[in-house]
Amino acid sequence: MSISKYFALAGMVNSEDVAIDPADAHVRSVRMDGSFYKGCMFGEVCWIVKPFSRDDFFRHRSDELLVFIGSDMDDPENLNAEVELWIENDKLVLNRTSIVFVPAGAAHGRIEVKNVKKPVFHYTCHLNTDTYEELPAQATAPKGTYAGSWVEKYAPVDGRLPSAPEGFLTRLLWIDSKKLPGAPYMEAVWFKTKNDTGPEAHTHDFDEFIGFIGTDPEHPEELGAEVQFYIGDEYFSMTKSCLVYIPRGVRHSPILVPKLERPIIHFSGGNGGDYKRDGSEQF
Q: Where are the domains of the chain?
A: 3-134+150-270
Say whether pLDDT at 78 is over 80.
yes
Say whether pLDDT at 142 is over 90.
yes
DSSP-assigned states of every residue in 153-186: SS--TT-------TTSEEEEEEE-TTTSTTPPPE
With cut-offs at 50, 70 and 90, classify the pLDDT of residue 92: very high
With cut-offs at 50, 70 and 90, classify the pLDDT of residue 278: confident
Task: Cite the beta strand spans of the chain per DSSP E.
Answer: 7-9, 26-32, 43-48, 52-59, 64-70, 78-87, 90-96, 98-102, 108-114, 120-126, 135-136, 150-152, 169-175, 186-191, 208-214, 222-231, 234-240, 242-246, 252-260, 264-270
Say whether pLDDT at 15 is over 80.
no
| pLDDT (average), residues 42-59 | 96
> What pTM value is reported for the model?
0.96
| pLDDT (average), residues 123-136 | 96
Q: How far apart are CA 61 and CA 26, in angstroms?
A: 24
Say whether pLDDT at 2 is over 90.
no
Say whether pLDDT at 128 is over 60.
yes
With cut-offs at 50, 70 and 90, classify the pLDDT of residue 259: very high
- Correct CATH for 3-134+150-270 of 2.60.120.10, 3.40.50.200, 1.10.3470.10, 3.40.50.2300: 2.60.120.10
